[in-house]
């Protein structure tokens, strides 16, 4: 798992619209079952340091990650703790204009490198163990 996961999708609209849908309408396209509660709403706050969270109908807010880079309409980076336990991981999305299309490139990696100024101590501490494990494991397998 220490190789980042890469996925690309091309959509017929400009980057401004793709970025807006990806962020402001996250709840609409995020796979249905991937929520703690079926009636939850997923939200991402549009600024660096903003929260990526699940708003549960009971009023509870479940933190899923944090925005590291907010650069509309070309780039978005956030941490994500997927699957209710693992984590954290880092998701980096680029929106690349291509004529009347936009190529949306997803790179999903363990949050193990390039910890910039946006990372506070809490996150650094949290990511340390995760970042150590998988590269070591891959090295072990390749021996």
Minimum CB separation from other proteins for residue 67, in Å? Answer: 18
Residues 6+ apart with CB under 8 A from 92: 69, 75, 76, 77, 106, 107, 108, 109
Q: Does position 18 bind other proteins by CB under 8 A?
A: yes
Q: Does position 124 bind other proteins by CB under 8 A?
A: no
Residues 6+ apart with CB under 8 A from 110: 1, 2, 4, 89, 90, 130, 131, 134, 135
Q: Which of residues 89-108 bind other proteins (CB under 8 A)?
A: 100, 102, 104, 106, 108
Q: Which residues bind other proteins (CB under 8 A)?
A: 1, 5, 7, 9-14, 17-18, 21-22, 25, 28-34, 81-87, 100, 102, 104, 106, 108, 129-130, 132-134, 136-137, 139-141
């Amino acid at each position: 798992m220490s190789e980042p996961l890469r996925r690309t999708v091309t959509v017929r609209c400009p980057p401004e619209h793709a970025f807006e849908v990806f962020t402001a309408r996250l709840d609409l396209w995020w796979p249905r079952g991937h929520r703690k509660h079926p009636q939850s709403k997923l939200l991402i706050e549009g600024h660096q340091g903003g929260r990526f969270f699940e708003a549960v109908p009971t009023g509870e807010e479940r933190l899923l990650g944090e925005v590291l880079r907010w650069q509309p309409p070309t780039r978005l980076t956030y941490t994500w703790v997927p699957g209710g336990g693992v984590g954290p991981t880092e998701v980096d999305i680029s929106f690349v204009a291509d004529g009347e299309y936009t190529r949306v490139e997803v790179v999903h990696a363990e949050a193990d490198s390039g910890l910039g100024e946006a990372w506070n101590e809490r996150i650094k501490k949290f990511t340390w163990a995760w970042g150590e494990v998988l590269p070591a494991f891959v090295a072990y397998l390749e021996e």
